[in-house]
Structure 1
Amino acid sequence: MIEVHIPGFRDLQISHIVCDYNGTLALDGVLLPGVRDSLTALALDVDIYVITADTFGIAENQLSELPVKLKIIPLEYQAEAKFEFISALGAENVFAIGNGMNDRKMLQSAAVGVALIQREGASAATLACADVVSLSILDSLDLLRNPKRLIATLRS
């Protein structure tokens, strides 16, 4: 568990990271450079889940040697499926990261929702539902590896 006190925001007890796959951890289905090391380091403190429709059909192969749990969801009702998934985990303990329209409900209900604007772009609706907007998955994951960055961004 990662605990962080953020004045004017909330006290966090993060026990789960939930990430979208394509556009978040991967580009065109292929895991982005550096993601493997960052997820491996964070897995020492939290459980990591990847939830995706697996557009390119290679998420399982790309994630096979990582300490993450993969959840493949149907193409229909993805926003609801992601929301229900983190609700079942306990959304108040989830750090969620995504970029697509189907990630908006997950980001809005998580303890901390991070929207990414990487090469795939990001849904404007999802950006509006996030607590933090980032330009890099590695920077997003580093918010938990270096919590003072998260504090500096979210304190009020």
Structure 2
Amino acid sequence: MYEKILVAFDGSETSKHALGEALRVARLTGAQLYVAHVIDILAPFGMGLTYVPAELIAAYREGAKRVLELARSEAKAAGMDCETELLQLQGVTDSVADCLHRCATRVGAQLVVLGTHGRRGVRRALLGSVAEELVRETDCPVLLVRGIS
């Protein structure tokens, strides 16, 4: 079945539900769990950004490390080990979905699990959907976990 599962985790309630599902599937299949968090430093500043202060980048990294530690703690509480990885977008044309796709390919993930906010209509058109883009890009199955509202 699955030997390696990648779960995208950003610390949100939706991603916590996705992590829970990934832990259940990993336990059932004996799979190794990888937890990835993507830092998107450019999004809050828009395309006009020419300089990102080093202090801001360091703060994003520290916050991301705390998020990954939370995921590791959740896995440990569930009796599972996991590897964590901090990912960062490679430029203004890169996307979170692209970053997750590269990670899934590199680690040989046979399943990717991520939460979806279930946006519809104009909000989805304006904000886009990481889940939708990842499903189109990746070669392996993607399990989408809807957040509980």
- The structure where strand makes up a greater share of residues is 1
Bigger Rg, which one: 2
Relative contact order, higher structure (CA 8 A, sep 6+): 2
Measured against the shorter chain, the TM-score band is 0.3 to 0.5
TM-score (norm 1): 0.45
- Give the helix-richer structure, 1 or 2: 2
